[in-house]
C-alpha cells in the first residue's frame, strides 16, 4: 500500500463498499474499518477501546457501530462513545475520495 505525497493511502475503490457497509483494511500495523454512510466514508480503528475486540462485524445503525463482544456503541463519524462499557473514544481517520479511490489519511 503506497502513501500519496500528502499522506493518504488508497483503501478501496468507489462502489466497492455498499451503502451502510464496511470494509476492513490493514494499514501499517493497524486494522481499520471504513464505513460507507449516506454522507460519505468514515474510518475508525477496528479495535474496541473497552477490551480490544474487532468491531466491524457488529451491528451498524444510524452511524453507530455496536461492539459484538459486550455491546459498547461508537459514533463512526467522530469515534465518540455512545454506550458503555467502553469509556474512551475510538481513533478516527480522515477519509477522502480521489477519482475512483477511497483514501485514508495515514501520516
Ligand atoms: S470489547 Fe467491545 S464492548 Fe467489550
| Mutation choice for ligand 1 from 66, 72, 74, 82, CB with most ligand atoms inside 8 A | 72
Q: Which residues approach ligand 1 with their CB closer than 6 A?
A: 48, 50-51, 53, 67, 69-72, 85-86
Atom of ligand 1 nearest to the CA of 52: 1
| pLDDT of res. 27 | 95
Q: Determine the Cα–Cα distance for residues 35 and 50; give it in Å rounded to an integer.
A: 20
Nearest atom within ligand 1 for CA of residue 53: 1
Tens digit of pLDDT for each residue in 5-58?
Answer: 899 999 999 999 999 999 999 999 999 999 999 999 999 999 999 999 999 999
Pocket test for ligand 1, best of 70, 81, 82, 89 (most atoms within 8 A of CB): 70
C-alpha cell, 1: 500500500
Report which ligand 1 atom has the smallest distance to the Cα of 55. Answer: 2
Burial class of 93 by CB neighbour count within 10 A (0 to 12, 13 to 18, 19+) = buried
What residues contact residue 9 under an 8 Å CB cut-off, 6+ apart?
A: 1, 2, 3, 27, 103, 104, 106
Q: What is the CATH number of domain 8-105?
A: 2.102.10.10
pLDDT digits (tens, 9 = 90+) for 57-101: 999 999 999 999 999 999 999 999 999 999 999 999 999 999 999
Amino acid at each position: 500500500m503506497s502513501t500519496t505525497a500528502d499522506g493518504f493511502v488508497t483503501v478501496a475503490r468507489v462502489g466497492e463498499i455498499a451503502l451502510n457497509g464496511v470494509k476492513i483494511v490493514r494499514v501499517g500495523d493497524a486494522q481499520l474499518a471504513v464505513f460507507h454512510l449516506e454522507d460519505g466514508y468514515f474510518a475508525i480503528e477496528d479495535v474496541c477501546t473497552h477490551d480490544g475486540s474487532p468491531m466491524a462485524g457488529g451491528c451498524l445503525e444510524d452511524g453507530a457501530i455496536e461492539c459484538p463482544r459486550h455491546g459498547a456503541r461508537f459514533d463512526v463519524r467522530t469515534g465518540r462513545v455512545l454506550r458503555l462499557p467502553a469509556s474512551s473514544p475510538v481513533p478516527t481517520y480522515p477519509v477522502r475520495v480521489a477519482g475512483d479511490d477511497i483514501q485514508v489519511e495515514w501520516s
